[in-house]
Amino acid sequence: MSEHSRLYAIHSDEECERLELQARLANIQGHLRHLPIAPNARVLDAGCGSGAMSRLIARSFPRTEIVAVDVRQEYLDYAEALTRAEGIRNITFRKVDIFSLPFPDGSFDIVWTKYLLQWLNEPKLALAELKRITKPGGFVVSCDMVGVTIDHFPIQPDFNRRVRDVIGALADCEIGRKVAPFMIALGFRDVRVRIETDTIFTVIGSIDPERRWNCEKLLQSARPQLAQIVGSELAADQFIERLMAHYDDPMTCSYAALYFTRGRVRGLTPIDL
């Protein structure tokens, strides 16, 4: 793991299965409208996890070439196995450091990433590396969270502060607001943001069983890190129990948003001259 990255606190032996469920709950088919993929494009999926988005792009654009990368070999092995099982032939997988990608400048027409930047101490540095490998005129598209697991109402003020402090120590739950300013500072052109409701962590009333399993699995996987943050395993268990009780309460609501931020790499078009 790079010194510029946070610990991926939610890793577990079941993480790829959880990611596959999460992709279904998120209806990732809708994410394609944010990707200006042309025929024969070369696409990078940065932080591919279980490979759900890579496979969707490959099926939807069969003439594209997709390169799917992640830092964990076990995720890549899982993703590659599913890809073979589905008979998909236009994806290759590579283990990489997101801050030092093994690709020449201008290698890809589209670079896609989701839920990656929240796990980085230096997300702007990672965006600069993604920009480097994008062709002039190509796009970097980053899908990022705002408010996930920390935006609740009604909630006791003291517990609200504790949730924000504890979860914020694991990941940057407001990273979505920061990506567009980072892109502007890095010299991207035509930067835009589209905001959508996150359908995984937005819960109105009691949480349903699949979303509950997903949320509790996240928290239980992060239990060792939570124990360090709150001071003990007992305190971590109490925190998880109280947060899940909030999700179960039919009188409460929880909110989350996805920010799809897109920036174009400067190219030889009239607007850039």
Q: Which among 52, 41, 38 is positioned nearest to 86, based on CA atoms? A: 52
pLDDT computed for residue 270 by the predictor? 41
Given a cut of 70, whether residue 26 has pLDDT beyond it is: yes
**Whole-number mean pLDDT of the chain?**
96
Q: Which amino acid is at 71?
A: V
pLDDT computed for residue 268 by the predictor? 58
pLDDT computed for residue 2 by the predictor? 66
Q: How far lies 182's CA from each of 37, 160, 196, in Å?
A: 23, 28, 20
Q: How many helices (H) and strands (E) in the chain?
A: 9, 8
Using CA atoms, how far apart are residues 79 and 52, in angstroms rounded to an integer? 8
Please name every residue paired with 142 in a beta bridge, in sequence order, or none if there are none.
113, 261
pLDDT computed for residue 6 by the predictor? 81
CB-based contact 119:4 (threshold 8 Å): no
Given a cut of 60, whether residue 143 has pLDDT beyond it is: yes
42: burial class by Cβ within 10 Å (0-12, 13-18, 19+)? middle
CB-based contact 72:48 (threshold 8 Å): no
Once rounded to an integer, what is the mean pLDDT over residues 210-214?
98
> What is the helix (H) or strand (E) element at residue 228, kind and residue range?
helix 223-230
Once rounded to an integer, what is the mean pLDDT over residues 210-238?
98
pLDDT tens readout for residues 121-134:
999 999 999 999 99
Using CA atoms, how far apart are residues 137 and 151, in angstroms rounded to an integer? 37
Please name every residue paired with 259 in a beta bridge, in sequence order, or none if there are none.
144, 195
Structure tokens at 68: 């799917």
Using CA atoms, how far apart are residues 64 and 52, in angstroms rounded to an integer? 16
pLDDT computed for residue 267 by the predictor? 80
